[in-house]
Amino acid sequence: MFKYNCLNPIAKVGLERFTDNYKATDNISEADGVLVRSASMHEMELPESLLAIARAGAGVNNIPLDKCAEKGIVVFNTPGANANGVKELTIAGLLLASRDVIGGVNWVSSAKDDENIAKTAEKEKKKFAGTEIQDKKLGIIGLGAIGVKVANVAKNLGMEVWGYDPYVSVDAAWNLSRDVKHVLNVDDIYANCDYITIHVPLLDSTKGFISEEAIGKMKDGVIILNFARDLLVDEAAVLKAIKAGKVRKYVSDFPNATTAGQDGCIVIPHLGASTEESEDNCAKMAVKELIEYLENGNVINSVNYPTVDMGPCTDNARVAVLSKNIPGTINKFSAVFADLNINISDFTNKSKGEYAYTLMDVEAKITDELIAKLKEVDGVIRVRVVKN
């Protein structure tokens, strides 16, 4: 029986995945796993019993990742679970920037007392005329979970799609429409595209990606969309470019003092993933990751330990070792098994930065002596019997 603690409300459709082998607890000190959305865990006491934390969402800045890794607590997130929600809002952003729907709707509200509103509208509507997206070029920077979905839909809406991502994953590449033009130099997107949308993570290396210099290379009248993070774009430079007529519209999902209420900016209050479906998908994925780790020892989508997936254990026993990433450790583990005359039938060892994770399936029963000897190996943080 495993116990889990929810630090925030988690969608029911996710929690329903727990079988009778799981029990909810309000007391984190007895929990094997924690599910969390936005609650800050930085000041929290983390109990020895805690094996894993699953964040229903992508960002993990509310979780002390290093402290968790040091204590052998695996932290998971749910990449891509909200990608469809963000994709749909990005497409809405493309349309809102092209057709002055917002201006038009506001005009209708302001003219609500006009008895002849239908007639007046016919005269006024030219103020809100726009352009169509079909046959226009859309440049996508970052072809991950969201970028690929945006690319495929935009293609189906009749746009010519150009994509830039020097680190594109094999999975993403498989899912990307073959009609998307893959460029190797982002300047090609700047020079050619009518719309540019950015879908990269905010890292030191991507901060200010869309700089004043980049904007200078763009086509006149370009529309820039930012549903990733505001700091990816030099927004002061965008405002200058809007005033100069270089940028037609800037659509952002991140309100701040720079862009809120500014002419040419359409600023949305961070609604990208605010859908019932996104929250459900995140909860389902977080619970699945927790179950996979607690029951099988497999680590999928962790942010502080490497991915290790050996499927379910088909042998007699499985042992997991969380350790520091120190050269020679694997030899020491196998020496422990050899000394006790226990055969390892399957084995995976992976590292991520300072930490490593080793999963071993064995033919014999795992004994207290074996566990004690594994714990003595230099750098070992936690030894866990997954199956015995």
By the criterion CB under 6 A, which residues form the site for ligand NAD?
58, 79-80, 82-83, 86, 141-147, 164-169, 172, 199-202, 206, 227-229, 253, 270, 272-273
Q: Taking the complex as a whole, how short is the minimal distance between the CB of residue 42 and ligand NAD, in angstroms?
A: 20
Considering the complex, state which of residue 147 and residue 264 has its C-beta at the smaller distance from ligand NAD. 147
Considering the complex, state which of residue 227 and residue 337 has its C-beta at the smaller distance from ligand NAD. 227
Q: How many CB atoms lie under 10 A from the CB of residue 253?
A: 23
Q: How many CB atoms lie under 10 A from the CB of residue 56?
A: 30
Q: Taking the complex as a whole, how short is the minimal distance between the CB of residue 107 and ligand NAD, in angstroms?
A: 28
Considering the complex, state which of residue 14 and residue 142 has its C-beta at the smaller distance from ligand NAD. 142
**Are β-strands 265-267 and 355-362 bridged in parallel, bridged antiparallel, or unpaired?**
unpaired
Considering the complex, state which of residue 2 and residue 254 has its C-beta at the smaller distance from ligand NAD. 254
Do the beta carbons of residue 357 and residue 305 sit within 8 Å?
Answer: yes
Q: Taking the complex as a whole, how short is the minimal distance between the CB of residue 205 and ligand NAD, in angstroms?
A: 6
Q: Taking the complex as a whole, how short is the minimal distance between the CB of residue 227 and ligand NAD, in angstroms?
A: 5
Return d(Cα 31, Cα 24) in angstroms, integer.
Answer: 8
Considering the complex, state which of residue 220 and residue 276 has its C-beta at the smaller distance from ligand NAD. 276
Q: How many CB atoms lie under 10 A from the CB of residue 72?
A: 22
Would you say the C-alpha torsion 377, 364, 294, 44 has a positive or negative sign? negative
Q: Which residue minimizes CB distance to ligand NAD? A: 144
Distances (CA, A) of 29 to 15, 26, 33, 125: 20, 9, 10, 62
Return d(Cα 365, Cα 279) in angstroms, integer.
Answer: 41
Considering the complex, state which of residue 223 and residue 362 has its C-beta at the smaller distance from ligand NAD. 223
Which single residue is written with the structure tokens 């039938």?
345
